[in-house]
Structure 1
Amino acid sequence: MTPVAAGPLESWVVSVDLWGTLITYGDREAEAAWRIREFETVLAEFGHDLPDDQVRDAILAVRADTQRRQRTTGEQPPVRGQVEQMLTVMGLSPGTRLVDTLLVPHTHAVLRACPDLIPGAHSALWALRQAGARLVLTSNTLATPASVSRLILDDHDLTTVFDATVFSSDVGLAKPRREMFAAVATAAGTDLNRVVHVGNSLTTDIHGALNAGCRAVLFNPRGKPCPTGVRDITSLDQMPTAVLATCS
């Protein structure tokens, strides 16, 4: 019997970012508006009738600060801590029952944004699998923990494509920290130098991956300047070819 030839990516792991790479961010204004409305409703039920601007400003300020810290330092603030900080900024005491109640709209608001699949995602991922690569989804989370992110993966039929998933809310640290990419290598049972990471952020995806000892491909539909030696793609149907070239 003639042995089946190994695919060209048989010994490689392809790590792929989620937000902005495989799915859109959706309607962020709708997400923010729903979170703010739900917070106001819950706060009123608990006897806190605050001005709309006070609630909105606290939520948006904490979210912006959380995102900045994550992207620059790889810090992964727990969702509970985010809600507690929002209440503190509002001048309220973050009691256990109130925080527990607010966690639901805080972590599920992203579903109101209706994130959509970026064209070419499925075909590119399956082409990589057919080339022999193992696939790992590698995603930072902010207000959306791994449990809710997995609902989104299921909605877009992405769950079965991946051999493993690595979420920053599970690791306790976020990209660009080396530990996130080390978790990818561990999940796939390989070394960091056999990992190619594909993502849309120069800071968290590209520099993070390169500094960890991985290779990288930039998903770059807007044509941002790309670091020397890093391949970039403007559409996902170019991903398999770019990954193959990066590994050669």
Structure 2
Amino acid sequence: MDTSRIDTITFDLWNTLISHDELYDESIRRARTEGIMEALKDKGIIVGMEDLERAHELSGQKLLEKWSDDIDVDVDGQLEIFLRCLNVDPSPDNMMAIESPYTDAVLKVNPYLVDGAVEAVCDMKERGYRIALISNTGRTPGKAMRKVMKNFGLLDLFDVTVFSNEAGYQKPHKKIFEMTLEMIGSLPSKAVHIGDHSVLDVLGARRMGMKSVRVMKHAKKDDGYHEPDIYIDDITGLPEAITKLEK
């Protein structure tokens, strides 16, 4: 039996299968803070937009301290940090009130599906590969991103979806790749990771002993330099790349 044959394809999500325009960061921040303001107002807690924006920035700095070590924070942890930065009691009731506007802001800003993304994943699935997703989340957790994926017809194509806020680790930490392969029942030598980022995706996969394909269409050119096994211009080149890696 050929124990080295590829049996699993893992995908990054942002800038590999879905992407957004240059206004995304500002749009999602506004949607999140406006939604939180209204949710707190409904509970009789009046806060101004200036205070909300300050809390958004300060809580972001605190999260970055965690993320710099490739450790992620779950939803409850993020809500508590945000409310403390806003000087509002992080009681269970208050956390519950702001959870939806905090986590689901992405549903109001319309990221878009990358051309050829569904077809590329379908091609891998039709070839018989196990299909998994490994995605960092920032402030938008897996629960919300699965809704986005479902809207795009992506979610049901995946056997396993692993998001950093649920795993507790971010790419390129070895642990999030390890957890994914354990869940899907594969080995690093039999898996290929597909993503846009030189550090998060290429280096992360290499640390795990996986092959990697870097998708360049939406990649940042200044995110470090780590050589993947194959570069492709866009996701439509994936089937050919995997065929090459199989040889």
What TM-score range do you get, normalising by the shorter chain?
0.7 to 0.9
- For 2:100, which of 93, 104, 108 is the aligned residue? 104
Tell me the distance in 2 between the aligned counterparts of 1:25 and 1:147.
19
Tell me the distance in 2 between the aligned counterparts of 1:101 and 1:61.
20
Structure-2 residue corresponding to 1:130: 126
**What is the TM-score of this pair, normalised by structure 1?**
0.86
- Does the 8 Å CA contact 2:211/2:228 hold for their aligned counterparts? no
Question: Which stretch shifts more, 81-90 or 219-228?
Answer: 219-228
Deviating runs (4+, > 6 A) in structure 1? none
Q: Alpha-carbon deviations, 1:166-204, whole Å to 9, x = none?
A: 222332222111111112211221111211111112222
Tell me the distance in 1 between the aligned counterparts of 2:29 and 2:220.
28
Tell me the distance in 2 between the aligned counterparts of 1:87 and 1:38.
14
SS in 2 for 1:175: coil
- For 1:202, which of 198, 208, 212 is the aligned residue? 198
1:53 aligns with 2:53: no
- For 1:169, which of 142, 155, 165 is the aligned residue? 165
SS in 1 for 2:192: strand
Structure-2 residue corresponding to 1:14: 9
Tell me the distance in 1 between the aligned counterparts of 2:227 and 2:198.
12
Alpha-carbon shift at residue 131 of structure 1 (Å): 3.1
Gaps of 5+ in 1: 1-8
- The change in CA–CA distance for 1:61 and 1:230 in structure 2 (over 3 A counts) is farther
- Does the 8 Å CA contact 2:172/2:200 hold for their aligned counterparts? yes
AA at the equivalent of 1:130: E
- Does the 8 Å CA contact 2:214/2:228 hold for their aligned counterparts? no
Tell me the distance in 1 between the aligned counterparts of 2:121 and 2:135.
16
Structure-1 residue corresponding to 2:71: 75
Structure-2 residue corresponding to 1:34: 31
Structure-2 residue corresponding to 1:5: none
- The change in CA–CA distance for 1:86 and 1:170 in structure 2 (over 3 A counts) is closer
Tell me the distance in 1 between the aligned counterparts of 2:106 and 2:34.
14
- The change in CA–CA distance for 1:81 and 1:10 in structure 2 (over 3 A counts) is same
Alpha-carbon shift at residue 37 of structure 1 (Å): 0.9
Alpha-carbon shift at residue 223 of structure 1 (Å): 6.9
Structure-1 residue corresponding to 2:80: 84
Tell me the distance in 2 between the aligned counterparts of 1:191 and 1:87.
41
Q: How many residues align?
A: 239
- Does the 8 Å CA contact 2:18/2:114 hold for their aligned counterparts? yes
SS in 2 for 1:218: strand
**What is the TM-score of this pair, normalised by structure 2?**
0.86
Structure-2 residue corresponding to 1:114: 110
Structure-2 residue corresponding to 1:4: none
Alpha-carbon shift at residue 114 of structure 1 (Å): 1.1
Structure-2 residue corresponding to 1:218: 214
- The change in CA–CA distance for 1:175 and 1:227 in structure 2 (over 3 A counts) is closer
- Does the 8 Å CA contact 1:11/1:132 hold for their aligned counterparts? no
Structure-2 residue corresponding to 1:178: 174
